[in-house]
Every structure is written in C-alpha cells, then in structure tokens.
Amino acid sequence: APSGRSAALRARMEERLLAARFRYINQQLYTSTSQEAAQLFQNDPEAFEIYHRGFAQQVGRWPENPVHRIIRYLRRRPASLVVADFGCGDCKIASSVRNKVHSFDLVPLSPLVTVCDMAKVPLAAESVDIAVFCLALMGTNLQEILEEANRVLKQGGTLMVAEVASRFEDIRAFVNAMAQLGFKSVSKDLSSAFFHLLEFAKSGPPRRRAAPG
C-alpha cells in the first residue's frame, strides 16, 4: 500500500535527519570544552536526547557494547568499592551493579544522574575506588577532566577507559600521556574493531601539563 511505503520513507528520512544532527552535535562536543558542552545542552535539552539516541543507535550496531564489558568487570570486584561514572548517559552502570555509583553527565537522562561539568565533579579528593569513562572522553579540555578523575580517585584506584578504536591514532602516545597525568597502564584490550578497553591505576598526582589524545 502506498501509505505504508510513504510511512517507511518518512521514517527513513527522519532517521537520516537524526543521524545528521547526531554527527553535528558529536562534532560540537569534540571541539568544545566540557563547560561549553554543559551550556549547549542547558540551552537546548532536546539536543542531548538526539545525541543520546543517535549514540545508542550507533553502538547498537556493534557486536558488543563496551558498557557491558565494564559492568562485567565491576561485578567481579567487591561491591564495597565506590565508582564514579563520568559521562554516564542513561546510568546503565549504576542500575546494573551493587556498588555505590556516582553518575555524572551534562543532562539528567535518569534520576540517578548528577548534572555537572566533568572537569568539576562534586566529590571529595580520593573518595572513589574506580573511575569510568565509557565512550565519554570528549572535549578540548580532556586533560582537566582526567586530572579531575585523578583528584577523586584513591591512590592505587582504577581508571577504566572504553573508547572508539578509531580515536586512538597512537595508543602508545596515549598511554605515555596518561602516565604524565598520574595513571599507570595495567591492561589493554584492543581485540574489538569498534572500541578499545584500557585499564589504568592511579600512581600519583599529575606530573606536569600533558594532554592525551
């Protein structure tokens, strides 16, 4: 029936528009500071919803979602460990583990989210055992954001980073920059063509200015 065909066509066009807006917002996020990103979503809350939907659609095509890997990792660790989830989205981690999870993002997609700038989270120094960035390393002030993760992590605490594989031009340079920021590489899982999973331990405070990426 023609009406069915036109509905399908409309749905396809809407999906294409959504994808285009997602790419545009994504580009904005990579080229602005976390403070500017917070402002962008404050002024246009719908943009975050579009971003999140486009993001979920993209990751949904992957054979595995990295957030599930991180959840499995956390379930193997003691439930007494405190977790900070930077850029938590819909709080899948907080709702899947028994640990106390501080979920931070720019917009409250879930009641569990604490809305804040990722470079200034409302946590005391050395109050967290595990910090997580799951597809959330973005913004031109990445260094400040990672320094903030260092600040809230206990000495020897774990930093888990899952990031799109194509973003790592040189994994060794990234690991070296992380060392300057006070994070020692513990393990690297580069087996997925879609994302890399890296584990670091906090070895001390940041040594000097060194932007990873």
Q: Which two tokens stand for residue 30?
A: 């990579």
| Out of 27-36, 81-90, 198-207, least confident range | 27-36
Q: pLDDT tier at 212 (50, 70, 90 boundaries)?
A: low
pLDDT score of 5: 87
Strands (E) across the chain are located at 82-86, 100-105, 113-115, 128-134, 153-164, 183-189, 195-202
| DSSP letter (8 states) at residue 86 | E
Q: Over range 100-125, report the average pLDDT.
A: 96
Q: Tens digits of per-residue pLDDT, 63-74?
A: 999 999 999 999
Q: What's the pLDDT band for 206 if we cut at 50, 70, 90?
A: very high
pLDDT value, residue 199: 99
pLDDT beyond 80 at 42? yes
CA distance 133 to 174: 15
**What average pLDDT score do residues 37-66 get?**
92
Domains of the chain: 2-60 (1.10.10.2150), 66-202 (3.40.50.150)
Interatomic CA distance for residues 119 and 135, integer angstroms: 16
The pLDDT of residue 209 is 58
